[in-house]
Amino acid sequence: MIYSEWQIWAIILGLGLGTYLLRLSFLGLIGSRPMPEWVLRHLRYTAVAVMPGLITPLILFPQATDGQLEPVRLSAALATIAISLWTRNATLTILGGATVLFGLHFALG
């Protein structure tokens, strides 16, 4: 489907307005009030719930290989999980996973 210039701008402005209102609902309206403990407890798990959904398709069905499983990405993911379980440190996990990914890319070509 081909959109005209004004339709593209309407989509951009609509999405921007929606994003602004969503952020305003949390930051502007309830940002200065203390949140109930049950809400804070659930919000702690947001990253744990979202990150696997974002990362898993990139590992199992990478666009770079037309959806073929790539041993380098899979190995880096497994190494990242191992580093995470071993260190319990998010920074070391990210750096270790990136090091394994780039190291295997350079080693295996």
Same domain, 28 and 50: no
Query: How high is the pLDDT of residue 33?
Result: 80
Same domain, 51 and 85: yes
Same domain, 61 and 94: yes
pLDDT > 80? residue 64: no
CA atoms within 13 A on the CB side of 38: 0
Nearest to residue 83, comparing CAs of 97, 70, 73? 97
Each residue of 2-27: pLDDT tens digit?
A: 999 999 999 999 999 999 998 888 77
Helices H / strands E in the chain, number of each: 5, 0
Are the beta carbons of 47 and 75 closer than 8 angstroms?
Answer: no
Confidence of residue 108 (pLDDT cuts 50, 70, 90): confident
Domain that holds residue 23: 1-33
Q: Model-level pTM greater than 0.75?
A: no
pLDDT > 80? residue 109: no
